[in-house]
Chain A
């Protein structure tokens, strides 16, 4: 375990039970897809955490740029009408 791993990095997603979506659990190194899935099983489901696993090569994930946070996420600010709580129920509607 001393030398740096030459294996590519994979991101692991675990679905904890039926009806819930897969949640990012962490990452690991593996030489290929099949071994990545097995390593994910060994590393992330040791305590009955999951019923389903996804692994994705880290380099295949496209992420947003933290430096562009403002231009990406500023727009919804101040647009309260996009939330249901912005609206008041009309007096005439009794069973909402």
Chain B
């Protein structure tokens, strides 16, 4: 995957700003460790890990599109960091799922077709203007924060370890989205209008996040039932929107079934761009 490529792009920004000191990173759980030491999950657990990995992968692809396009250099790096965090979650989850089918993270990311992706519709929605991306981040990161918190106590040790690392990172993504939601909601009339517009176009994909599917069954005390997160999510996002002077819009809900491989018109284009290089040069590395 292009983890390193993205990191290099960000490093060039960081170097331009002269970073303080360099210390080797801590030894957190890495996808490479899972690939080497991981115990293959059952078919059910792998299918579940794939759903979360797909959410992360598609969101990372969307977010990384902001690199060099954000309103400010500082925000460019902030969104890039978030994209890298999420890509890291995707790599771990896809690597773990792949052990069940003797596939690598790259096999799963680059060589599946649209109907094989099990991501939610919310993550494949276009970036839109900055406010749309922030509202998408608000909706998704509050959800993922609650999800990973619970998953960290899963009886599946690998999923628990991935979630324990991810929850700390998603906590920051959540904070980033909240800070911007409040500032743009209370900013100018134009910024508030753009945030209302963002809520209008993204709210139809909220219900899907909390729908329990076949993939969650048979995984009691391993998987997190999405429906159990709804109340806490409602409470949290309502509080943020209230503070930002925004309201939950009265929109209908989309017939979204991403977990079953049915997607909106946006995923095909995203995958075409994400997969073209790997498919044009199979097995190539850089």
Interface residues, chain A, with chain B CB atoms under 8 Å away: 1, 5, 7, 14, 16, 23, 25-26, 28-32, 34-35, 38-39, 41-44, 46-50
A5 partner residues in chain B, CB cutoff 8 A? 72-73
* Given A34-B179, A38-B179, A42-B78: A49 and B72 interface contact (C-beta under 8 Å): no
Q: Does B218 contact A (CB under 8 A)?
A: no
Q: Is B20 a contact partner of A16 (Cβ separation < 8 A)?
A: yes
Instruction: Choose one: A1, A7, A16, A38; the contact of B21 (CB below 8 Å).
Output: A16
- Determine the chain B residues whose CB is within 8 A of the CB of A28 once the complex forms: 17, 74
Q: Which of B19, B68, B179 contacts A35 (CB 8 A)?
A: B179
Contact A1 B68 (CB under 8 A): yes
User: Other than the known A28-B74, A39-B75, A49-B21, what 13 A-B pairs have Cβ atoms closer than 8 Å?
Assistant: A1-B68, A1-B72, A14-B21, A23-B20, A25-B19, A29-B74, A38-B179, A42-B77, A43-B13, A43-B14, A48-B23, A49-B19, A49-B23
B74 near A48: Cβ-Cβ < 8 Å: no
Q: Please give the distance in Å from A34's CB to the nearest CB on chain B.
A: 6
Assess the B77–A43 pair: CB atoms within 8 A: yes
Q: When the two chains form the complex, which single residue of A1, A14, A16, A44 contacts B76, counting CB atoms closer than 8 Å?
A: A1
Enumerate chain B residues within 8 angstroms of A7, measured Cβ to Cβ: 72
Partner of A30, one of B10, B68, B74: B74
In the complex, whether B18 has a CB less than 8 A from a CB of chain A is: yes
Most chain B beta-carbon neighbours within 10 Å: one of A25, A28, A29, A46: A46
B183 within 8 A of A: yes
Q: Is B128 an interface residue (CB 8 A)?
A: no
What are the residues of chain B within 8 A of A1 when measuring CB–CB?
68-73, 76
Per-position 1/0 for B229-257, Cβ under 8 A of A: 00000000000000000000000000000
A47 and B175 contacting across the interface, CB-CB below 8 Å: no
